[in-house]
Amino acid sequence: MMASAIIRPLTANHELQPRWIDGRAMDKVAAEFIKPNDRLTAFERLELYNQMYWSRLFDSIREDCPGLLAALGERAFTRLAQAFLERCPSRSFTLRNLCSRLEGFIVANPRLTAPRTKFASEIARFEWAQTVAFDGESRPVVEAAAFARTPPSRLRLGLQPYISLLALQYPIDTYVIAVKRRDAMRSEASNTPDSKAVVRRSVRRAALPRRSPVHVAVHRHENRLFYKRLNPAAFRILEALRTGRTLSQAIAAAGPKVKPQQVRAWFKAWMALGWFCGRVAPAS
């Protein structure tokens, strides 16, 4: 019961809900299991934990989703975050995974982000991809010699698990970079060495960029985060490889207009980045 009470949403005044889920007065419910002291009632003691829970999780989601916060503005973002955390409470030991289901939640609940639902869902996907790129698994790189050993009609390559391939309707990469620059400038302007000490300003909704389809790989190189724009044909090759197609099938997925020397140049760049690894056999 205490856990359920702690994760219940606060009131509009950021207080513990006055009634329990069965309609009983919360102060009486709290008093059933929590002792008061000479300064705080049982209700007030439980409220402390309730408030700390929401403060902690809101801080975490704001830190992980600055682009989404900028896209929606403070009020809509808070409404979305509260609904998300209420219906999808943390199921992981680490807050790192808190936003892993956020994109799906946005798509399933469009009213919360309308009329920017598509934009919001793409930002959520992008910002989760950053988390994966930051500390996702890295497997041993497949060297060039492996290409020579197996014919392309049978060669299957894995793509590093920390790479996310994103086909987006909006230029989310440039949008997120702009938001990061804006936030960095605000932090400097406040003259505090520690960005967390900055008084949190209410974030206004940023202008929606024009719809402009892009293909982006969110990845890391030498443990730094990068966003790499991809030619649509290159994207199709990488997606095909990721889904288990052979090298021949993947290159064919690029389409007939792509020149062989272009494909070779792409593969040379991807290999230099260490993108290819062995495939993991599917679980039986």
Using CB under 8 A as the binding rule, whether residue 46 contacts other proteins is answered as yes
DSSP bridge partners of 168? 214
Phi then psi dihedrals of residue 102, to 5 deg: -70, -40
Q: How far is Cα 218 from Cα 235, in angstroms, rounded to an integer?
A: 12
Print the binding letters for residues 147-166 with other proteins: x by CB under 8 A, - otherwise: --------------xx----
The whole-angstrom separation of Cα 284 and Cα 269 is: 34
For the bound state, the minimum distance from the C-beta of residue 83 to other proteins, rounded and expressed in Å, comes to 16
C-beta of 193 vs 256, nearer to other proteins:
193
Q: How many residues sit close enough to other proteins to count as binding (CB under 8 A)?
A: 46
Q: How far apart are CA 225 and CA 148, in angstroms?
A: 31
22 contacts other proteins (rule: CB under 8 A): no
By the rule CB under 8 A, 14 interacts with other proteins: no
Query: How crowded is residue 45: how many other Cβ atoms within 10 Å of its Cβ?
Result: 16
DSSP per residue over 108-138, as a string?
H-GGGTTTSHHHHHHHHHHHHHHHHHHH---
What amino acid occupies position 51? Answer: Q
Report the residue from 86, 135, 143, 188 that binds other proteins according to the rule CB under 8 A: 135
By CB under 8 A, is residue 87 in contact with other proteins?
no
58 binds other proteins (CB under 8 A): no
* Interaction site with other proteins (CB under 8 A): 2-4, 6-7, 32-35, 37-40, 42, 44-46, 48-49, 52-53, 56-57, 89-96, 133-138, 161-162, 193-194, 196-197, 220, 223-224
